[in-house]
Each structure stands twice: as C-alpha cells, then as structure tokens.
Amino acid sequence: MLTADIPPNQTIYIKNLNEKIKKEELKRSLYALFSQYGRILDVVALKTPKLRGQAWVVFTELTAASNAFRQMQNFPFYDKPMRIQYAKSKSDCIAKDDGSYVPREKKKKQEEKAEKKRRAEEAQQYAMANGPGSQSNGGPKVPFHGNPNAQEAAPNSILFIQNLPHETTSVMLQLLFEQYPGFREVRMVDAKPGIAFVEYEDEDQSSTAMQHLQGFKITPQYPMAITFAKKGAPMNSQNKKKMQSLFSDSSSNPFDILTEEIVLKILDHLENDDASARKSFSLTCKTFYFIESRHRKILRPLRTELLPRVLHRYPFVSHLDLSLCPRVDDNTLNVISSTLKATLSSINLSRSRFFTNVGLSSLFVNCSSLVEVDLSNGTQLTDLAASAIAEAKNLERLRLARCKLITDMGIGCIAVGCRNLRLLCLKWCLRVGDLGVELIALKCKEIRSLDLSYLPITEKCLKSVLQLQYLEDLILEGCHGIDDDGLSTLEQSSKSLKMLNLSNCQNVTCVGLSSLTNGAEQLEQLILAYGSVVTADIAKCLHNFSKLQSIKLDGCLVTLSGIKAMASLNTSVKELSFSKCLGVTDEGLSLLVQSHKQLKKLDITCCRKITYTSIDSITNSCTSLTSLRMESCSLVPKEAFVLIGPRCPYLEDLDATDNEIDDKGLKSISRCSKLSILKLGICSNISDEGLAYVGSCCSMLKELDLYRSMAISDAGITAVADGCPALEMINIAYNDKVTDKSLTSLSKCSMLKELEIRGCPGVSSIGLSAIAMGCKQLTVLDIKKCFNIDDNGMLPLAQFSRNLKQINLSYCSVTDIGLVALASINSLQNMTILHLAGLTPNGLAAALLACRGLMKLKLHASFKPLLPRSFLEYMEAHGCVFHWRDKAFQKEMDPKGWNLHLGRSTSTELP
C-alpha cells in the first residue's frame, strides 16, 4: 500500500526516528511532544532489528491523530525529521477497548498471511492467462483505480464497469451489453467518467455478459474491467435487523451495505467546493474515504510541499487551483504534469511565482487535455514561456494579464500553436501590439472573448479582430491608441458581438463608437465608463441594438440630451450604471426609468444632483428592481427611503452608504424580504430601532455594512445576529458603543466569513474568543485599533479559526506570544501588523517563519533593519511579498471623522 492510500487511523506511525535514543526516553519524549494534539492511549516503540527507528502513537480521537499527522510532519526530533503516516491497522489497546481484540498466535498468524498472499497471486496469474484481454498484451495497460475489494465481490445481477474511455456514452454501452440476454439498463455517473453500472435480470445472465465482454476495448488503450457490483441491500426486515446490530456493534461498518453506486450519487450531491462536507464524508469510513478520493475533481491545495502525496490521493483531479500557493517552482510543475497527465484540464497559476518556461513546457507537453490556463501576473514570464504555451494544442481559455515581458513574438507562437482558443486575456501585456493581436485574430478563429485592455494597439488590429465570426466579448478598456479617426476606417463590426467594453478610451466618442458597432446586431452590453461626454449622438449608435440589456457609463459626463436619447430607445434595458456621473438630474433620470420599466439593476452612486423626485420615479416605474446602489446621493432626503420598501419588493441589494436614511426608512426597506446586501455605512440617522426591523424581517441577509454608523449599539447588532443566520459579512468599524455583547451575539452566525471591527475600543479578547469559537468559517478579520484585544484573543483564534486568510491587527495589544500563536493557522495569507507595542523583532521573525503560506505582509519600516537579511530573503523565496509602511503612530483614531469624505480607510489600507 502506498503511503497516500493509507486511510486515517487514530494511531500514527512514525519513522526515521533517531535510533540512538533509548526506548524509554524515546517513548517519554514522543508522549510529551504529541500530547498537545489530544489524549494519548499508548506509545509503542521497539528496538528489534526490524522495528528500531519507528514508533506508534495511539490517540483517543482520530482528529487528534490527523492534526498530529499534518502538523508534525517532518518535525525535527532528536536531529532527524519525523516521517509520519497513519498506522496500517488498529492498535491492540483500541481493539481491547471496543471488544474486537483477538489475541494473536504469533507464528501461525504470519503463516496464514503469507498463504493468503500466495493464493491471491495465483488467482491473478490464472486470470491473466485466461482473460480475453490478455491474448495480445496481457491485460489492461492502464491501471484502473477501482474498488480494491472488487475481485472478492459476490455474484450480482449488476455489473460494475471500469477503465472506460471518458468519451463513452450510455448509448454505446447499451449497444454492447444488450447483446446478452436479460439486459435491463446502463447507468452512468455524471461526475465520474470512466465507470458505469449495467443491470441484468439475474446473476447468471450478468455473469455471461461479464465473461464475454471482459477486457473489451472501446478504444485501443482502454480494455474495460468488469466486476460484480458490490451488493446493495433492500430494506427487508432481515436487513433492518442487520442494520441495527451493525450500529450497536462499533467494530463493523454500517455503511458497507451501501453500493459504490449509491455512495457516488451521494457525493454528486455535495457541493464541489464545500471542503468541510467532503472532509466529513471521507472520514465516515474507509470505503467513503477511498471513494471520495476517486471522485474529487477540483483541488485547491494550501501547500505545494505536500502536492505529490495529495495528487496521489486524488488521481482524477481535473481542475487544479494553485492560487493559495505563492511558490510554485518548475519541480512542482513537473510533479503535476507527471501525475495528472491525462486528467488535468484546468490550472490556475495566477498567484504563483518561481516557475519558468521549463516547468511550463513540461506541463503543456504532458498534459494534453489542458483546456484552461491562468498565468496572469506572470511578470517574470518571457516569450520562452509563450512558446511553451504554444505546445498546449487543445487550450481554449488562456489568461495572461500583466505578463509584461511577453511580446508580439510570443503571442505569435501562441496564435500558431493554440488554434482552439476561445478566450484570451492579454490585459496589461504592454509589449503586445497590433502585430500580436492581428496574428491571434488570423489564426485563432474560434475566439469568443478577447480582453485587450491597456494594450498599445490601434484600429489596425481591430480590422482582423472584428472578422472573428464567433467573437462575443471584446474588451478594449484603456486602449488609448484607438480614436475616432482610426475607427472611421473600419467597415463592419463583428455580427456576433454581445459585449463591448470601451472604458477609459478617452479618444473615442459616439462617432467612433458607431463605426465600431456598425452591424453588431447581437449587442447586449455596452460599457463606456470614464470615457468622453455622452451626448444625444449616443442614440445614433444605440437604436440599432434590439437586444441591448445593459449600459454602463460610470464616471462619464452625461448630458440631458444624452439621457433623453437613451430614454427614447425602443428596447427596454435591464441594467444601467451611472456611478459618479456628472450631469445626472431628476428630469433625465425620471424620463429614463419611465421608458425602462424592466430595469433590474441601477447604480446612481454619487449622482449628487438627484433628489426625492428621482427616487419617487425609480420606485414607481421599476418595480422589479433587484439592485439599487445610491451611495452618497446627498440631496436625497430621508423621506425618499420610505418609498423603496413597498414599491420594490424584489430588492436584493441596497447601497445607501452616506445617506440620510433613518429608522423609518429602514422599517420600510425591511419589507424587502429577499434583501441580501445592505450597506449603511456613515448613516448617522439610523439606530438600533431600525436595525431591529432588519433583524426581524430580512432573514436572507448576507452582508451588512455599518461602518461609522455611530448611533447603533449592541441591541441593534444583536437583533441582526438573531434574525439573520445567513450573515457572511459585517462591518461595524469605528463604533464606540459596540462591546463584546455584539460579538457574542454575532458568534451565533456560523456562516460569518468577514468581520471588520476596526476602531471599536469597546470590544476585547473576550468577544473575539466568542467569535473564534462560533464562526469557524471566518476568513477575513480586521481588528485594527481594538486596543483591548490582546494575546488572550489570539489564542482562541489560533485554535478555532483555521480558515483565517487575512488579518489586520495594527495598534492592538497583541505581543510576540499572540502573534506566534496566530502563526499556527495554516491558511493565513495576508497580514497587516503595524504599531504593535509589545512586538519584538525576534518574536516577529519566529511567528513569520511558522506561517508558511504567507503571500503578503504589511510591516512598519522600522522593523526592516532589525530583521536579518537572510530571514527576509528566506521569506521572499517562499513567496511572501513585504510591504513596508512608515506612517507614524497615530494616537487618536480620527475622532472627528475627518476621513469620512476623503475616501474610506477600508479601501486604502486593506488589500
């Protein structure tokens, strides 16, 4: 059995121990070392020639063993790194506990084992000599990973077929199996290609079919492997009894009565990305553990060091997301390409560095089924990398955003090599110009989506791009080389175009736009944010688009005639965005919403001219509105918010940040029972009374922002915590009325992922402990300037918040001790640690060395000279990026709210 195949066991097996240590001392030290993970029942170590250097540690709990297994792997112990595995069998002291202990008769037992092995080998040889798949080349070429107990399965009218090529369909199998009498049906498992179940009327008939089709090759490389399916148990009274006795007898596994088919079906119903559900599933029993490992398709590992073993456990992974691994070197890519050769279809390397074209080349040459690759942020990648990409002949989706060294030459290679590209993102590839893009357009005829944002291109390459007959999405954001004159030379747009983004193209006006979109009859979405003035001319281009759904003009100057032109369109759009637009008035907006009554999403952030009138028109006309974003609409009075609740019952998302809304308004809005996102930052007119309405009516609420809404206190937060169990994000920053009571209430929200309590002096480590214990999904935490949070808050966080990715603890009272504890959280990626009075350079270094997945770290510049250079290099080599800040210590925390209208500190200081 290979290491990765050994299922979890409450006993761990440790090898590579220092053989010079005396047995008793070794046992004592192991006991001391591993007690931190849980209660230990026994430590076994022997010094016989065969068993020296090894030991077993028996825990009372499986979870203790698995934590020890993970966390102490390679731990240096008496100068040698420990190699830990799960024990292969149950320890005697456990067996004695649960009554399954059978005293062994030493030699006899061993002989029996050997005998069994011999017999199994004989049987296999016999099968090899007689099976039909063997005539030419001796059995299946491709090892199939099926149920290891398959050969022992009793005859069954259902057959279990493995090692099928992935393109096999149920019709193909039916044609094959219906030739034999008694055929009933073929069943395939959607989420698991390569296997199928075929049912016959009885066991004789299924046996006949099995004999005839054993080893049949649908394609030359895949001889099918047929076994009897594991027996399922219909629920007659006899079985019920069996079930009951199984449950009362802990030594056998009640789940063994489920067939693999049923177990796979259960897995199909688990969310693919729900790690905890999958984990519980595989810890149910050995069979489940095994089946889950074959079913897993998506993997997002935390550590590349463990990748060889992880990939061995999950051989059918097709989607590998390495965005949590800052360091991925060529060696790692080699491991991936050799283990996932045939199965890998998608890989994300956008957050990883340290690999080169050599590793990429091995990846693309070996993994021929790769269809999707994200290499964004590969600022180190050159044209050599591009020519490696060109080996990926089947690539369909390629992202190269910010690969600034890749030139037209490299893109040319990709154009020639990857003819099946459907999506290509070249955003910020500053050395790619007309030539590269033209080559892509000429060679890659399948392109659907092309992102050319911020490229130094002109209309020259657009000629070819617009001839792509399947082009749907074209993104030309910030292409300053494109202007009206150039566009006027274009004759016809792409007929298939659905989305056009010309944001930040200041040299393009409605004139250029109409040349570019001439003939684009399928256009659904037009994004012209931060562009030139929107005038009546816009009507000229828009009136042709009968399918237009969405117009975004964020940051543009919009004239009244421009808005009138949009109001006179004969199509009804679903989405309009005017965030930060100058020129939006009550008159224009009212006209517009009256002619677009189907509107679902409207963004009028910072439209500072609109008043009650606009809100009245919007809510009157657009009753199916789901999203209304109106941050800082400073002339809208509080009375306007009362209109929203009764008129827009489908509202899911309301941004009323920095508005006059009061409790009456909140009462009205709480009638929107589908409300999921509610932003009430800097709303000083709302109080606990208003929040109580939200708490009692909006049970689907997921996000609540109360940043600097200073009138609220514990009672309001508690009402929300009690009434909104689905809450995932809450921001209560800069509120001096909030205390630990709020945090204790919020600890009941078990889905909470993001908590910001920056600048709340009333909360302490006690409240944070409650959060740590109750909110196990917590991923992002901001406790900056919570002066009363100290090391006592970090310890529970370290123990319970194992999913924490990001933390800001600047200005807290945390010291070396708290930080070192925090560092034990494996998932930590991003920390901001400024102005911690009790932090020493040594404590910081010790903590950081323990955080192996760190990607981004904000520290005060004064630490830089105090940390050894070699230490900084070590961290950087592991993928950590340091951000040195030198802002002076701020004693007061913006007591008068000076920052209020100068942009929010959240967005400038948190990444």
Partner DNA sequence: AGCACA
Q: Which residues bind DNA (CB under 7 A)?
A: 6, 11, 13, 15-17, 19, 42, 44, 46, 48, 50-54, 56, 58, 85-93
Shortest spacing between CB 679 and DNA, in angstroms: 53
DSSP code, position 326: S
Q: Are strands 183-188 and 550-552 parallel, antiparallel or unpaired?
A: unpaired
Of 96 and 166, CB closest to DNA:
96
Of 2 and 235, CB closest to DNA:
2
Please report, for residues 305, 441, 497, the alpha-carbon distance to residue 471 in angstroms, rounded to integers and kept in the order given. 41, 10, 6
Shortest spacing between CB 280 and DNA, in angstroms: 24
Instruction: Report the C-alpha gap between 401 and 457 in whole angstroms.
Output: 16
Reference 296, options 259, 268, 336; nearest CA is: 268
SS3 at position 424: strand
Shortest spacing between CB 93 and DNA, in angstroms: 5
Shortest spacing between CB 116 and DNA, in angstroms: 14
Of 94 and 440, CB closest to DNA:
94
Determine phi and psi for 729, rounding to 5 degrees: -145, 135
Shortest spacing between CB 290 and DNA, in angstroms: 16
Shortest spacing between CB 148 and DNA, in angstroms: 16
Of 60 and 598, CB closest to DNA:
60
- The tokens for 469 are 């007959």
Q: Are strands 473-475 and 80-81 parallel, antiparallel or unpaired?
A: unpaired
Of 38 and 215, CB closest to DNA:
38
With contact defined as beta carbons under 8 Å apart, do 595 and 571 qualify? no
Q: Which residues contact 748 (CB under 8 A, 6 or more apart)?
A: 721, 722, 725, 774
Count of CA atoms in the C-beta half-sphere (13 A) of 909 = 21
Instruction: Report the C-alpha gap between 729 and 745 in whole angstroms.
Output: 14
DSSP secondary structure, 661-713, as one string: --HHHHHHHTT-TT--EEE-TT-TT--HHHHHHHHHH-TT--EEE-TT-TT--
Of 34 and 734, CB closest to DNA:
34
Determine phi and psi for 43, rounding to 5 degrees: -125, 125
Of 306 and 849, CB closest to DNA:
306
Shortest spacing between CB 310 and DNA, in angstroms: 17
Instruction: Report the C-alpha gap between 512 and 705 in whole angstroms.
Output: 41
Shortest spacing between CB 69 and DNA, in angstroms: 11
- Angle among Cα 690, 692, 697 to the nearest 5 degrees reads 105
- The tokens for 322 are 């390495």
Of 106 and 869, CB closest to DNA:
106
Of 91 and 503, CB closest to DNA:
91
Shortest spacing between CB 304 and DNA, in angstroms: 22
Of 118 and 883, CB closest to DNA:
118
Of 92 and 616, CB closest to DNA:
92
Of 104 and 119, CB closest to DNA:
104
Shortest spacing between CB 10 and DNA, in angstroms: 9
Shortest spacing between CB 42 and DNA, in angstroms: 6
Instruction: Report the C-alpha gap between 843 and 845 in whole angstroms.
Output: 5
Provide the b/e sequence for 339-377 (b: ≥16 CB within 10 Å): bbeebbbbbbbbbbbbbbbbbbbbbbebbeebbbbbbbb
Of 35 and 544, CB closest to DNA:
35
Instruction: Report the C-alpha gap between 219 and 216 in whole angstroms.
Output: 9
Name residue 785's amino acid: K
Of 111 and 736, CB closest to DNA:
111
Which residue has tokens 């250029």?
512
Determine phi and psi for 696, rounding to 5 degrees: -85, -15
Shortest spacing between CB 83 and DNA, in angstroms: 8
Reference 811, options 907, 909, 891; nearest CA is: 891
Shortest spacing between CB 1 and DNA, in angstroms: 8
Name residue 86's amino acid: Y
Name residue 907's amino acid: S
Of 45 and 347, CB closest to DNA:
45
- The tokens for 531 are 């562009």
Instruction: Report the C-alpha gap between 519 and 499 in whole angstroms.
Output: 13
Please report, for residues 118, 135, 202, 808, the alpha-carbon distance to residue 122 in angstroms, rounded to integers and kept in the order given. 6, 18, 29, 64
Of 16 and 207, CB closest to DNA:
16
Shortest spacing between CB 19 and DNA, in angstroms: 7
Q: How many CB atoms lie within 10 A of CB 855?
A: 24
Shortest spacing between CB 252 and DNA, in angstroms: 18
Of 46 and 129, CB closest to DNA:
46
Beta-bridge partners for 45: 55
Instruction: Report the C-alpha gap between 2 and 620 in whole angstroms.
Output: 68
Shortest spacing between CB 88 and DNA, in angstroms: 4
Shortest spacing between CB 146 and DNA, in angstroms: 23
Shortest spacing between CB 85 and DNA, in angstroms: 4
With contact defined as beta carbons under 8 Å apart, do 159 and 209 qualify? yes
DSSP code, position 816: H
Q: Which residues contact 518 (CB under 8 A, 6 or more apart)?
A: 490, 491, 492, 493
Of 58 and 825, CB closest to DNA:
58
Q: Which helix (H) or strand (E) holds 246?
A: helix 237-248
By CB neighbour count within 10 A (0-12 exposed, 13-18 middle, 19+ buried), where does 328 fall?
buried
By CB neighbour count within 10 A (0-12 exposed, 13-18 middle, 19+ buried), where does 122 fall?
exposed
